[in-house]
Amino acid sequence: MTCTWVTRKPLLPHHKRHVTDAMPQTERLNADETGLSRAADILRGGGLVAFPTETVYGLGADATDDTAVARIFAAKARPSFNPLIVHLPNLAAAREIAVFDANAERLADAFWPGALTLVLPLKPNAGIAPLVSAGLPTIALRVPDHPLAQALLRRAGRPIAAPSANPSGKISPTSARHVAASLAGRIEAILDGGPCPVGLESTILTTVPIPTLLRPGGLPTEAIEACLGAPLARHTPADTPNTTPNAPGQLASHYAPTAPLRLNATQPRADELFLGFGPGPGTLNLSAAGDLTEAAANLFHHLHTLDAMGQAIAVAPIPDTGLGRAINDRLRRAAAPRP
C-alpha cells in the first residue's frame, strides 16, 4: 500500500529529546512484525503511536511516562485534561494498576478482551503518570480485543494510555486514514490495521460505589445488566453540576489540594509555597524553560508534592494558549471553593 502522509525519521532516544522538539513526521507502519516492533520501540522511547482497537483508533503513549502522556494532550489540542483510558493485554496486568471488587472481576471476566472500560480505584504505587487520570484517585482500564492492539501491548510491555486518536472536538477515527487526516505531523507513527470492526468507543462503567454507566458505547448495557443481574445506575449531568455530560472524568471529585491555592501570583506571600513557571523563583517550577508540555507533565506531581508540605500554594501565571488552557482549567478547578 502506498501512502503520501509519511516520511521516515528516526526517533531520538528519550533522554536526548527535548519536549520542545519540532513536530514529528509521521510514519505509516504496516500490520506486520516490522511495523509492530517499530511501534513498540517508539512507545518505549516516549513517542506517540496511533493504533487500531476493535472500537476506534487510539492515540497511544507509555502511561508511566509523564512527558509522553502530556504530548497526547498537545497532539489532540485538548482544552482540558480529560482523563485517559489505559490499555492492557489482560486482566492480570490490569489488576496491578487498579483495585477490582467482585463486580469488576465478574465484568472483566465476561467482557475482556472487549469494548468495556472499567473505572476503578487506582493503586497509588502503580507507576501511572498522574496526568493519565487527571489527578483523580480512579483509573479507566480496558483490555482491547484486536489482534494488533494485543500484539502491540505485549511488545511494548507497558500500560498504554490512549484516548481516541482525533483532535479534540472531532469525531473518533475508525481507519488509519482518518487518523492521518487530522494528526499527521503531530505524532510519530500510525499502525495501519484497516477499519475498526466496532467503530464506536467502548462502554465506560464504574463499579464503585455501585455499578454505574458513565458512557454508553460498543458493549450494550443490556449485556452488562444481564451479567450483573441488576440494572445499572445512570450517570446523569444532574449528579455533577458544572460538568459537561460527555466528560465523565471531570466529576465533582476532581483533584483539589487540601491547601488553598492562589492563581496568577507574581510572587509568594510569606506563608505561601510558590509553584513557578518560566525563569524565576519557585518552591517548585512547572517548567523553568517556560515549556507548556513540560509544565503539563509536571502539574499533578508538583501539586501533590506541594500539598504534602501543608502550606498555602501560590501559582505563577500560565499563558492561556495551547496546553496552557488545559493547565489553567485544572488550576481553576483546584482553586475553586470547596464544598
Q: Which residues bind ligand TXA (CB under 6 A)?
A: 53, 55-56, 58, 82-85, 117, 119, 133, 136, 138-140, 142, 162-164, 201-202, 204, 214-215, 247-249
**Which residues are CB-contacts of 48 (< 8 A; sequence separation ≥ 6)?**
24, 42, 59, 60, 61, 68, 71, 72, 75, 186, 187, 188, 189
- Beta carbon of residue 142, minimum distance to ligand TXA (angstroms, whole number): 5
- 46 or 60: CB nearest ligand TXA: 60
Choose the contact partner of 55 out of ligand TXA, Mg ion, none; CB within 5 to 8 A by kind. Answer: ligand TXA
- 43 or 162: CB nearest ligand TXA: 162
- 82 or 206: CB nearest Mg ion: 82
- 11 or 49: CB nearest ligand TXA: 49
Query: What type of residue is 329?
Result: D
Looking at 164, 202, 250, 328, which residue binds Mg ion (CB under 5 A)?
164
CA distance 231 to 211: 8
| CA max distance for the chain | 64
| Alpha helices (runs of H) in the chain, residue ranges in sequence order | 33-44, 66-76, 91-95, 102-111, 147-156, 176-183, 221-228, 292-308, 323-335
Choose the contact partner of 83 out of ligand TXA, Mg ion, none; CB within 5 to 8 A by kind. Answer: ligand TXA
Q: In a 3-state reduction of DSSP, which class is residue 230?
A: coil
Choose the contact partner of 130 out of Mg ion, ligand TXA, none; CB within 5 to 8 A by kind. Answer: none
Choose the contact partner of 207 out of ligand TXA, Mg ion, none; CB within 5 to 8 A by kind. Answer: none
CA distance 76 to 168: 5
- 40 or 116: CB nearest ligand TXA: 116
Checking DSSP bridges between strand 138-142 and strand 116-121, what pairing results, if any?
antiparallel
- 153 or 286: CB nearest ligand TXA: 153
- Beta carbon of residue 263, minimum distance to ligand TXA (angstroms, whole number): 24
Choose the contact partner of 162 out of Mg ion, ligand TXA, none; CB within 5 to 8 A by kind. Answer: ligand TXA
Write out the three cell numbers for 294: 513540560
Of 21, 131, 126, nearest to 70 (Cα)? 131
Of 41, 10, 32, nearest to 155 (Cα)? 41
- Beta carbon of residue 198, minimum distance to ligand TXA (angstroms, whole number): 8
- Beta carbon of residue 200, minimum distance to ligand TXA (angstroms, whole number): 8
Would you give the distance in Å from CA 259 to the centre of its chain?
Answer: 26
Binding site for Mg ion (CB under 5 A): 164
